[in-house]
Chains A and B, each alone.
Chain A
Amino acid sequence: MSPLWQNLLIYALVLWCVWRLLRKYLPAWSWQNQARLSYFLESKNPLWLKRLGQRLRPAAVIPQGCNTHCSKCNACS
């Protein structure tokens, strides 16, 4: 695997990790922005962008985040 691909993969992974952190500690903020991105994409004409927007739609309910000790969260017990 060439260094370029390796770097791209790494950047993708890092971004994904940052996104996970945001989702955990700023759930409302990240939900809103995910929704914004999703609607933006859905409003564009190319079909594949629309589909991408649909795939990115966030869950119907904003998760509460790490303070409520629901068992979905990784941080608590």
Chain B
Amino acid sequence: MSIANIALVGNPNCGKTALFNLLTGSRQKVANYAGVTVERKLGQFALGENTINVLDLPGAYSLNATSPDEMITRDICMGTHDYGFHPDVLVCVVDATNLRLHLRFVLELKALGRPMLVALNMMDSAAKRGIVIDVEKLEMELGVQVVSTVAVAANGADRLKECLRADALPAPLIDPQALPEDQHQQVRRILRASVSMPRDTSALDDGLDRWLLHPVFGVLILGLVLFFMFQAVYAWAAPFQDGISASVQWLSGQAGQILPAGILLSLLQDGIFGGLGTVLEFLPQILILFAFILALEESGYLPRAAFLLDRVMFASGLTGRSFIPLLSSYACAIPGIMATRSIQDPRDRLATIMVAPLTTCSARLPVYALLIGAFIPRQDVLGWFNLQGLVLLGLYVFGIVSVFAVALVMKRFNKTKSDHALLLELPSYRLPNLRDLAIGLWDRARIFLRRVGGIILTLTVLLWFLSSFPGPPADAVLPAIEYSFAGRIGHFLAPLFAPIGFNWQIVLALIPGMAAREVAVAGLATVYAISSVSDDTGQLGAVLASQWSLATALSVLTWYVFAPQCISTIATIKRETNSWKYTGIAVFYLFGLAYFFAFLVYQTAVWLS
């Protein structure tokens, strides 16, 4: 009988995830614990002839769980709940540069009496800081096997893998008196015996924090970082975008040469290449944005931002801890909403969940980028700043302001007092690991491409079908599309949206656009491609620029700042809040704000022009 299942457990910021990535590479899967909405990260790696399953448990400071994800860690370590995974060995990952904090948890886990070993991670950082650890002494003092790992090095987990070759690992002897105070005393004793630290803190951390946490400079730097991020998203993506656009157009042209003119060609050119191609163009922007978010996360900067913003967030009824889930929502609100599990206070958690859809998720990017690209001139402002990038930033800022404003309003409705805990660790700064970044980006690209090939393709084909059938009668006067199912549906619903300047094509695209925001882009591309005379399937932006007024474009942009055009997000809210009432409130207020502000913007723009 050999070891088959291991669980990685440890404090937050111990490099557990990097170790997990090192062990499993891309053979990992994110799923759900049955009955609970906490993410489960399961992976595998080969050891000799066996395959070992690795479960990456949520980081926890203690088995006294204070938030839903800590409860999962507790339940699996203690074996009190069956989540379908039974670890043979607990691999307790600790940060070698901060054993004072991490060893206490090891002692707590040791008291469980389960087979375990300690992975002394970040040994490279420890060495750099001049920290000397006598691993054998440490093993002796702890009574548990200790193995050093360097999660950022290619061979950093080799010793760990060697240990896992054993048939089984011994369970530690349990000490019946395990009070917290005693645990801290024990940790001190162990540290005195086996570790020498020249400094309490890293000089780098101290130096960086002096500026990055400075009351004035810190906030300025934060603003600059975010600003730079959004400028980069536009500027760096442009060449890739053009490349993808050109490729799709070329493919479409080739299809025109191979197939005879007819309905099938229309499906390919107008529906698939036109619709999907337009959405695919935005992959570079999404990846660049996500790369920044990941890099910031890995570097340890995000908790600093949370520290700077906590006061503002607290005043709005949120918490500094909301910052990280909200920032994740900039990639996609779904994992962002799920990340609120780390917020202990249920009221803070609910507030964060309710405002998360207002953050400008990456699915909005195609819509924004399309309209900004079509209606905002490519100019430079003050010689430095790109006007399009500025408008994009403006939309993001609008989203952020609405997050705070809505949270503030919700605070008024929810007057109950409770203990709002922050208690946030600011870990050491570290250089983002390129391999982990690459894995994260690859994951993101894969998810995006799956969406394109999945729901977006499906709905685009259906929308194309509805827009092409039935064909126009022989004595047709209007463009063919007006006679189709889609045309009729669109015209039927259009009066509802006339006050906000939406034409029937927009209204039509919004319907399948409920499944995913990008579908609206594909939908518009398809609908306009079918209505157009020329064979040119690209350049939806140019078509829109000639057909819509600026007021309409601004109105659509505003609509998209608020409208929850994403069934999956709504479903996630329902799951995380476990309440139809709050989900209903969220949907209602989001659509309400969308209509209201789109109305304002449209009427104002019309009045001004």
| Residues of A with C-beta under 8 A to B447 | 77
Once the chains are docked, how many angstroms separate the CA of A3 from the CA of B263?
A: 8
- Residues 283-332 of B at the A interface (beta carbon under 8 Å): 331-332
Query: A71 near B568 (CB under 8 angstroms)?
Result: no
Q: Does A67 contact B (CB under 8 A)?
A: yes
Let me know if A71 and B264 touch, CB within 8 A.
no
A18 to B462, CA, bound (A): 8
A-facing mask of B316-358, CB < 8 A → 1, else 0? 0000000000000001101100100000000000000000000
Q: Binary interface profile of B, 563-605, with partner A (CB < 8 Å = 1, else 0)?
A: 0000110011011000000000000000000000000000000
Q: How far is the CA of A68 from the CA of B37 in the complex (A)?
A: 8
Check B572 against A17 for contact (C-beta < 8 Å): no
Bound-state CA distance A77–B515 (Å) is 14
19 other A-B residue contacts (CB within 8 Å) besides A6-B264, A69-B338: A1-B259, A3-B263, A6-B263, A10-B264, A13-B267, A14-B461, A14-B462, A14-B465, A21-B462, A24-B455, A67-B571, A74-B451, A74-B455, A75-B451, A75-B516, A76-B572, A77-B331, A77-B334, A77-B335
Interface stretch among B28-36, B73-81, B157-165, B536-544? B28-36
- Of all chain A residues, the one with the shortest Cβ separation from B39 is A69
CB within 8 Å for A10 and B32 given contacts A21-B458, A75-B451, A75-B568: no
6 A-B pairs with CB atoms under 8 Å apart are A6-B264, A69-B30, A69-B39, A69-B572, A76-B572, A77-B334
Complex CA gap A10/B272 in Å reads 13
Known pairs A66-B568, A70-B31; A75 contacts B454 (CB<8 A): yes
Which residues of A lie under 8 Å from residue B461 when comparing CB positions?
Answer: 13-14, 17
Q: Once the chains bind, are B515 and A1 in contact (CB under 8 Å)?
A: no
Bound-state CA distance A74–B462 (Å) is 17
Is A9 in the interface zone, CB < 8 Å from B?
Answer: yes
Is B473 an interface position by the 8 A CB rule? no
Nearest opposing residue in chain A for B259, CB measure: A1
CB distance from A46 to the nearest CB of B (A): 32
Q: Tell me if B's interface is mostly helix, strand, loop or mixed.
A: helix
Complex interface: chain B residues within 8 A of A20 (CB): 454, 458
Q: Tell me how far the C-beta of B371 lies from the nearest C-beta in chain A, rounded to whole angstroms.
A: 24
The answer to whether A74 and B334 touch across the interface, beta carbons within 8 angstroms, is no
Tell me whether B450 is interfacial, beta carbon within 8 Å: yes
| B262 on the A face (CB < 8 A) | yes
Chain B interface residue bracket vs A: 35 or more
| Residue A7 lies at the interface, judged by CB distance under 8 Å to chain B | yes
* B114-140 interface code vs A (CB 8 A; 1 in, 0 out): 000000000000000000000000000
Q: Which residue of B lies closest to A3 (CB)?
A: B262
- The yes or no answer to B383 lying at the interface (CB within 8 A) is no
Cβ-defined contact, A67 with B29, below 8 A: no
Check: B260 CB closer than 8 A to any chain A CB. Answer: yes
Which chain A positions have C-beta within 8 A of B455? 24, 74-75
Report A-chain residues with C-beta under 8 Å of the C-beta of B331: 77
In the complex the two chains form, is B264's CB within 8 Å of A9's CB? yes
The smallest beta-carbon distance between A74 and chain B, in angstroms, is 3
Contact B338 A75 (CB under 8 A): no
- Which B residues touch A70, using CB under 8 A? 31-32
B451 adjacent to A71 (CB under 8 Å): no
Nearest residue, chain B, Cβ from A69: B32
Q: Is the CB of A67 within 8 A of B574?
A: yes
Write the nearest CB–CB distance from A3 to chain B, whole angstroms: 6
- Chain B contacts for A68, CB-based, 8 A: 32
**A74:B31 contact, CB within 8 angstroms:** no
A25 to chain B, nearest CB (A): 8
Judge whether B568 and A7 touch: CB under 8 Å: no
Task: Give the shortest distance, in Å, between A67 (CB) and chain B (any CB).
Answer: 5
Give the chain A neighbours of B567 by CB distance below 8 A.
25, 66, 75
B89 CB, nearest partner CB in chain A, Å:
25
For the complex, give the distance between the alpha carbons of A66 and B575 in Å. 11
In the complex, A34→B574 CA distance in Å? 28
Given A20-B458, A77-B335, CB of A1 within 8 Å of CB of B31:
no
